[in-house]
Amino acid sequence: MKSAATIHMATILVGLTISPSLLALDQSIEHIRGDQSRQLLGDGTGVVVGVIDSGIDYTHPAFTNLTTDGKSKKYAAKNFVPYESSTNDVAGHGTAVASIIASNDPNHIGLAPDAQLLNARVLNNNNGFNNGQWVGNGIAYAVNNNADILNLSLNYASPNSNGNNMLDLMLDWAAYERNTQVVSIAGNIQSSYTQVRSPGSIYNGFVVGRTTADFSQVHSNSANAYTQDGRMKPDLVAPGTNITIANDDHEYQNDYHYNSAYGTSFAAPHVAGLLAQQLEFGRANNLSTSNMVTKVTMMNATLHINDKTGNLQKPATAFTQGGVYTVTKPLSVDAGAGQVDGINLYNQYAPGEFGPGSVNSIGWDLNETGVANNSHVEYIINAPLELDSELAVTLNWLRKVTRTDNGNSIVDINDTYTYYDLNNLDLQILKDGNIIAQSISIRDNIEQLRINIDDENAQYSLRVFGKSVGHTPESFAIAWSAVAIPEPATLTLLLALSLTATARKNRKNC
């Protein structure tokens, strides 16, 4: 058990560039199929997203319309910059971020246009903060006001990524105790420092890098692994180059309600917006919205992307020994698990939860019973898998962080946050009862495996192994996805449908 209770002064910058005019087509949401998933998962109704940033200009057309249930887009707002009084956005950064998440302007619809926005202003007019307490106060405000999702498109300018400063502890506590969904940026490379910086070093949330303008690979300026304590970050990547964003100076530039911007600051809100969609769907369909579940389903649903070198992403460290494919650093240094995809997320999440034992080829489980030390939990896929298809599996558990109130009965930066050593779980894939692949990181609370199926007649199963677990079993979430071979009856039906469609087409062409 270890404790940290002070915030250190630091000069902090936010990585972004905003152009003076609209330079890019609004393609990012379409590319990650967030517009399609919005029709399937939902548009964020009933979800509150906390934007901890430079403020929000609620007079912008992106936020002036009511939600479908008649609520204002403005859920709550407060300023935490000591020498300023307004929650309005002078720098333009927070307004831009918020529009990607939740714009309901018909001319530029965000990922979750029906979500409400909590505005915690923590950045000054120069788009920075001189004291971590500003950000800590904004986090506390959002948590005290029950924000479902926190988006932090900001970070320290200097190296600070061991996961144990006050901001990281507050965020990990909020995720652990309050089930808050936390999204942070990996950061932009500056001063030749390429690694992620706090709060991009959190354990219990999403850390997001950015891709290039054509969405094909990780941008060279996106910060990457490792944290100072050797963990894999980012968790995943999203579009963050030439992104259409709301212009906070719209009152004076009538022809330019929207600008274009780039930076990891604008990748993170793509993830926050997808989360808002997912939370609405989960609540409406009585599915778990645990942040462990959202993390494994979104990370397992990513698409492969090229890293900064132009090569297809791969785990940082992997090898085959004794016939067992072994991953010790499970994510890509640049891309994490890959680029987010809304339709894949729906396909991964919507099938629902399966307990241990026999499971379908696509699904997930929130296992709150947990796994004890030197024991395992197993999931046996109940159908043969298609030859040469991919089996993807992702495992997540939380770092435990507790809070001791300072006596005022509200969450704030004067509380004491205590973190505990992380339990160590391993992920294994078995074929006919024999281990063929394993993800065995000793530092991360994410394990991930992706393998190609080489035997369509084999029985595949997934195993969560308690490598080093304390006295209490460790709760976890796991998601898996594979292509099952259709049963003969299904094949007959598909063939009949195909023949019918062909006959109709032939008649039409006669």
If you average pLDDT over every residue of the chain, what do you get? 91
- Which of 276, 277, 262 shows the shortest CA–CA distance to 28? 262
- pLDDT category of residue 250 using cuts at 50, 70 and 90: low
Identify whether residues 37 and 155 lie together within a single domain. Answer: yes
Query: Is residue 270's pLDDT more than 60?
Result: yes
Q: How many residues are given for the chain?
A: 510
* Catalytic residue annotation: 53, 93, 265
pLDDT for residue 486: 84
Identify whether residues 129 and 275 lie together within a single domain. Answer: yes
Identify whether residues 280 and 403 lie together within a single domain. Answer: no
pLDDT for residue 252: 58
Task: Tally Cβ neighbours within 10 Å of residue 59.
Answer: 13
Total domain count, the chain: 2
272-329: per-residue pLDDT in tens? 999 999 999 999 999 999 999 999 999 999 999 999 999 999 999 999 999 999 999 9
Q: Flag whether 424 is in a domain.
A: yes
- Residue 421 belongs to a domain with what CATH number? 2.60.120.380
More confident position, 486 or 122: 122
- Which of 12, 422, 466 shows the shortest CA–CA distance to 230? 422
Q: Flag whether 4 is in a domain.
A: no
What secondary structure does DSSP assign to 213-269, as a single string? TTSSBB-TTB-BS--TTS----SEEEE-SSEEEE-TTTTT-TT-SEEEEESGGGTHH
Decide: helix, strand or coil at residue 50. strand
- pLDDT category of residue 256 using cuts at 50, 70 and 90: low
Q: Domain boundary at 251, 271, 298, which? A: 298
Q: Flag whether 495 is in a domain.
A: no
Residue 229, amino acid: D
Identify whether residues 274 and 398 lie together within a single domain. Answer: no
Query: Is residue 218's pLDDT more than 50?
Result: yes
pLDDT for residue 490: 47
Identify whether residues 225 and 321 lie together within a single domain. Answer: no
- pLDDT category of residue 251 using cuts at 50, 70 and 90: low
pLDDT (mean) for 103-131: 94
Q: Flag whether 508 is in a domain.
A: no
Decide: helix, strand or coil at residue 35. helix
Task: Tally Cβ neighbours within 10 Å of residue 389.
Answer: 16
Identify whether residues 391 and 463 lie together within a single domain. Answer: yes
| Helix, strand, coil percent content, the chain, rounded in steps of 5 | 20, 35, 45
Q: Flag whether 155 is in a domain.
A: yes
Cα 339 to Cα 182, 312, 366, 456, 481, distances in angstroms: 18, 12, 23, 28, 16
DSSP 335: T
Cα within 13 Å of Cα(394), Cβ side:
27
Query: Is residue 92's pLDDT more than 70?
Result: yes
Q: What is the dihedral of CA 155, 439, 300, 168, to 10 degrees?
A: -20
**Rounded CA gap, 226 and 412, in Å?**
29
- Which of 249, 168, 231, 210 shows the shortest CA–CA distance to 15? 210
Identify whether residues 188 and 81 lie together within a single domain. Answer: yes
Identify whether residues 241 and 356 lie together within a single domain. Answer: no
- Which of 53, 93, 96, 47 shows the shortest CA–CA distance to 73? 47
Query: Is residue 499's pLDDT more than 70?
Result: no
433-468: per-residue pLDDT in tens? 999 999 999 999 999 999 999 999 999 999 999 999
- Residue 211 belongs to a domain with what CATH number? 3.40.50.200
Query: Is residue 254's pLDDT more than 90?
Result: no
pLDDT for residue 489: 54
DSSP 88: S
Identify whether residues 270 and 321 lie together within a single domain. Answer: no
Q: Flag whether 57 is in a domain.
A: yes
Identify whether residues 269 and 399 lie together within a single domain. Answer: no
Q: Flag whether 2 is in a domain.
A: no
Decide: helix, strand or coil at residue 143. helix
Residue 274, amino acid: L
- pLDDT category of residue 18 using cuts at 50, 70 and 90: very low
Q: Domain boundary at 248, 271, 298, which? A: 298
**Rounded CA gap, 296 and 243, in Å?**
26
Residue 170, amino acid: M
| 460: containing domain | 313-489
Per the omega criterion (within 30 degrees of 0), is the bond before 199 cis?
yes
**Residues sharing a CB contact under 8 Å with residue 483, sequence separation 6 or more, in sequence order:** 361, 385, 386, 389, 390, 453
Query: Is residue 51's pLDDT more than 80?
Result: yes
DSSP 338: -
Identify whether residues 396 and 457 lie together within a single domain. Answer: yes
- Which of 504, 495, 214, 208 shows the shortest CA–CA distance to 336? 208
Q: Flag whether 494 is in a domain.
A: no
In this prediction the pTM is: 0.92
Q: Domain boundary at 256, 274, 298, which? A: 298
Longest dimension (CA), the chain: 82
pLDDT (mean) for 108-126: 96
Strands 424-431, 434-439: parallel, antiparallel or unpaired by DSSP? antiparallel
Identify whether residues 260 and 335 lie together within a single domain. Answer: no
